[in-house]
């Protein structure tokens, strides 16, 4: 597990009031954790605020599992880092 996964796992566990051990790569946010679409949206907003990133709504709607969420965040972070040198 990497630092990002651990941070997001803790964030989800704290927000949902569950033990972090319940959250593994193939954990489905809605099915396994009982999150509804509003919970998921609120989680995405919290992640964006915590990490200082922006996740598109269309991308966020596709996320089903914890691993998919981490991959999306990593891709967003990579894109953010890649664009640092480009003029705005």
The pLDDT, as a whole number, for residue 88 is 46
> Rg of the chain over CA atoms, in angstroms?
13
**Backbone φ, ψ for residue 65 (5° rounding):** -115, 165
Contact (CB, 8 A) for 51 and 12 = no
> In this predicted model, what pLDDT tens digit does every residue of 32-72 receive, in sequence order?
999 988 898 899 999 998 888 899 888 888 999 999 999 99
pTM score of the predicted model: 0.84
The pLDDT, as a whole number, for residue 86 is 47
**Backbone φ, ψ for residue 53 (5° rounding):** -120, 175
Which residues, including other chains, have CB under 8 Å from residue 40's CB and lie 6 or more apart? 29, 30, 60, 63
Domain boundaries, the chain: 3-74
What CATH code is assigned to 3-74?
1.10.1200.10
């Amino acid at each position: 597990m990497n630092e990002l996964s651990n941070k997001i796992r803790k964030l989800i566990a704290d927000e949902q009031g569950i033990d972090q051990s319940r959250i593994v790569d193939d954990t489905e946010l809605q099915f396994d954790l009982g999150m509804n679409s509003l919970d998921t949206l609120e989680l995405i907003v919290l992640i964006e605020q915590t990490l200082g990133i922006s996740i598109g709504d269309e991308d966020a709607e596709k996320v089903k599992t914890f691993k998919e969420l981490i991959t999306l965040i990593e891709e967003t972070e990579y894109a953010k880092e890649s664009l640092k040198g480009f003029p705005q």
